[in-house]
Chains A and B, each alone.
Chain A
């Protein structure tokens, strides 16, 4: 059987043909996301994604297994909604995340719940649904790597990632 060599060749072909662009979507953590690539002066420009991330606050946190928004989270999301109203050329991708406690599948579903809670809140503030998309990363993209509550609490998050009209174009 020549399965092995055939497999190798085809994997190589997939590698060449890959069209995924991981930099298109942020993970709210490491330096590869859209927001981080904004120029350094952006933080001082109130209409920049960097300002949104640093000054408005791009994320809200959740309790264990929960997707309900606390008062602090609502205040952050209200500011996010106001920013989105003021900057209609931007869309938002809301990423839901979980900590590493829990199975991969359950955490994917939990992250979807969290992202959806944020989406619903932004919608309730009048942000058009075609400017919002949600994605769950479950426990796949932690920003903090220790294995105790100090990290878990930061990883149970929903991050609003701003992009320039990419979602509807």
Chain B
């Protein structure tokens, strides 16, 4: 077998969408995970360390193998089989698979790969995915290309392909998270914007700690970030270019404060909260024309707006009923419809990128929760509970939520966590310092 029909993907170059279409998968019976059904037993997979194809490829081959396995394991949907149990020792990427050897150790999926690193820093990874029990390759082998500085992205792409082929879901590992990195005591906290890979690798700071920063949000293409900064002494919305780290203030109006910004799906409309005379309402700003538009005019607090992915509606938080609750209104303004009716206070609603659910923060009986509900407010499900859980952000495929969890007391500090929309697989995300306000990027281009 050869990679006759394989495709070379070079990161950073526009990739044909057909590469990531998996029409063949649907025919495949056994090797399939339905995420919505609440998996009890993770699917066992074998991943022999990807073979180095040339001298000097060993380190990156090992690194890629480890990241692929870590991505899959961290979903809670897959379980890696200890390589010491392997019967087959793969020595050649193209040699036929001894399915019986893998069945004997109950590997349901087998992932094989090979890595080649050239002296000029080019990395090529080839991989294949096998459905061990049906004795077939699942989808075609793929070849991906990148550089030694972006090898982790190659690994995430491999894992994304495996995840998508087995679950039928869109991928999410090749993505980043912008967040607020926190240092110092609780009564003198220093905050900086930082960006990292979704799994906590490659942390880079985007701002210094001179000005308080809050609530960063990615643009729909991941190239820009909206956030709130006290750079001027007053909270204002800023726009930062991820590539150049150039930033500019938006919507600055003397005597007002602006905060809680988010992009609309067009990447040109910004929805945010503006406080004037003590009253906070929701506005939009068109980045092309700098025109602002006021969407709510109530004496109550209106904040934390989030667009529906089709751009037609905005979900937000308001205390017009006497306590903070979630409302939906047309994106052009108009009469809001309350959708949260459970016990307690609701805030920070965020529309899922799939359009089907709204994630929120809920405060009830002294505890905080992250939850999801349908866009009409029905089928509310609480996914977490703690002293302070807040600020959900959706994975690019709408299957995982990252949020902030803060511990109580004088030594209390925030950290980032993720959880499935089924409420399973609660995990802490590694960050170098205390961290808050995560925002997940779209899948990287």
Contact = CB atoms under 8 A, between A and B. Distances in A.
A104 B188 contact: no
A19 to B, nearest CB: 8
Contact of B363 (A1, A15, A30, A102): A102
Contacts of A134: 255, 278
A113 B207 CA distance: 29
A20 B210 contact: yes
Contacts of B6: none
B94 interface: no
Contacts of B361: 103
A143 B187 contact: yes
A112 B243 CA distance: 34
Interface string A122-158: 0000000000011111001111111100000000000
A32 B187 CA distance: 11
Contacts of B388: 100
B206 A7 contact: yes
A83 interface: no
B239 to A, nearest CB: 14
B29 interface: no
Contact of A1 (B150, B189, B319): B150
A99 to B, nearest CB: 11
B391 interface: yes
A135 B147 CA distance: 47
A109 to B, nearest CB: 4
Contacts of A113: 278-280, 301
B433 to A, nearest CB: 15
Interface residues of B, number: 66
Given A101-B363, A102-B347, A116 B204 contact: no
Contacts of B204: 4, 7-8, 11
B202 interface: yes
A142 B413 CA distance: 13
Contacts of A4: 149, 202, 204
B211 interface: yes
B245 A14 contact: yes
A11 B301 contact: no
Interface string B193-218: 00100000010111110111011000
Nearest to A8: B204
A104 B277 CA distance: 19
Given A4-B149, A11-B245, A22-B210, A145 B278 contact: no
A103 B278 contact: no
Contacts of B185: 145
Contacts of B96: none
Given A18-B208, A18-B210, A142-B186, A108 B275 contact: yes
A133 B410 CA distance: 31
Contacts of A110: 301
Interface string B72-113: 000000000000000000000000000000000000000000
Nearest to B146: A1
Given A11-B206, A109-B273, A6 B244 contact: yes
Given A7-B245, A10-B245, A14-B208, A30 B188 contact: yes
Interface in B245-273: 245-247, 255, 257, 259-260, 273
Contacts of B280: 108-109, 112-113
A105 B231 contact: no
Contacts of A109: 273, 275, 280, 301, 303
Chain A CB within 10 Å, residue with most, of B206, B207, B301, B317: B301
B410 A146 contact: yes
A115 interface: yes
A67 B186 CA distance: 24
Contact of B208 (A3, A15, A25, A143): A15
A136 B235 contact: yes
B410 A104 contact: no
B260 A108 contact: yes
Given A30-B187, A106-B303, A108-B235, A117 B410 contact: no
B410 A112 contact: no
A119 B277 CA distance: 9
B233 interface: yes
Chain B CB within 10 Å, residue with most, of A105, A108, A136: A105
A103 B243 contact: no
A14 B275 contact: no
Contacts of B189: 140
A22 B260 CA distance: 22
A135 B255 CA distance: 9
A29 B206 CA distance: 28
Contact of A108 (B246, B247, B257, B324): B257
A24 interface: yes
B408 interface: yes
B9 interface: no
Contacts of B211: 18, 20, 22
B260 A135 contact: no
Contacts of A108: 214, 235, 257, 259-260, 273, 275, 280, 303
B278 A106 contact: no
Contacts of B303: 105-106, 108-109
Instruction: Please list the 4 inter-chain residue pairs (A to B) with the smallest Cβ-Cβ separation, ordered nearest first.
Output: A116-B278, A10-B245, A109-B280, A147-B408
A105 B348 contact: yes
Contacts of B432: none
A1 B12 contact: yes
Chain B CB within 10 Å, residue with most, of A7, A102, A104: A104
Given A6-B244, A108-B303, A112-B280, A103 B390 contact: yes
